């Protein structure tokens, strides 16, 4: 499998997160989300756009993009778990459910980008394969 096609599932997942985030903002507009909902929804949508762009860079061999995606794909689900467990975070139940789905999707990215074959394709200080 070549490097570009290896990134296709990651791109699909990040686009799915973007679509879900935009849908969340639509729900917030209909049901009247509070400032926490708007802030989180907007931040996740913006981050998704950035991650889709990073995926393209990583597919073209840019190691720094790969490293950023690895970091975010591990850190984001941890942050989402904290949001889900917080007793009074200001997030309504429907948004906690949406964030749970986002967390699962991003955790799937972590599994993909942390495979040995993917890590070996982006060696630290070495030549790209």
Q: Tell me: the pLDDT tens digits for 34-85?
A: 999 999 999 999 999 999 999 999 999 999 999 999 999 999 999 999 989 9
- Say if 73 falls within a structural domain: yes
91 found inside a domain: yes
Residue 127 lies in a domain: no
Structure confidence at residue 88 as a pLDDT band (50, 70, 90)? confident
49 is in which domain, residue-wise?
3-121
129 occurs within a structural domain: no
Given a cut of 60, is residue 108 above it in pLDDT?
yes
| Whether 107 contacts 75, CB under 8 Å | no
Per-position b or e across 22-31, b if 16+ CB within 10 A of its CB:
eebbebbeee
Answer yes or no: is 126 within a domain: no
Q: 54 lies in a domain?
A: yes
| Residue 127: band (very low, low, confident or very high) from pLDDT cuts 50, 70, 90 | low
Cα angle 75, 15, 54 (rounded to 5 degrees) comes to: 60
Q: What is the pLDDT of residue 20?
A: 97
Asked if residue 42 belongs to a domain, the reply is yes
Q: Write out pLDDT tens, residues 71-81.
A: 999 999 999 99
Give residue-wise pLDDT tens across range 5-32. Answer: 889 999 999 999 999 999 999 999 999 8
Domain count, the chain: 1
Q: Is residue 55 part of a domain?
A: yes
pLDDT at 4: 74
Long-range pairs of 83-89 with CB within 8 A, sequence gap ≥ 24: 83/40, 89/36
């Amino acid at each position: 499998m070549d490097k570009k096609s290896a990134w296709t599932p990651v791109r699909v997942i990040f686009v799915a997160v973007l679509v879900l985030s935009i849908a969340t903002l639509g729900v917030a507009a209909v049901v009247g989300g509070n400032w926490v909902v708007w802030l989180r929804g907007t931040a996740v949508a913006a981050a998704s756009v950035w991650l889709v762009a990073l995926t393209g860079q990583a597919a073209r061999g840019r190691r720094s993009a790969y490293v950023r995606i690895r970091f975010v794909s591990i850190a984001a689900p941890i942050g989402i778990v904290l949001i889900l467990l917080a007793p009074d975070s200001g997030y309504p139940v429907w948004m906690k459910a949406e964030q749970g789905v986002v967390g699962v999707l991003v955790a799937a990215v972590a599994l993909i980008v942390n495979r040995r074959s993917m890590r070996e394709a982006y060696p630290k200080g070495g030549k790209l394969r």
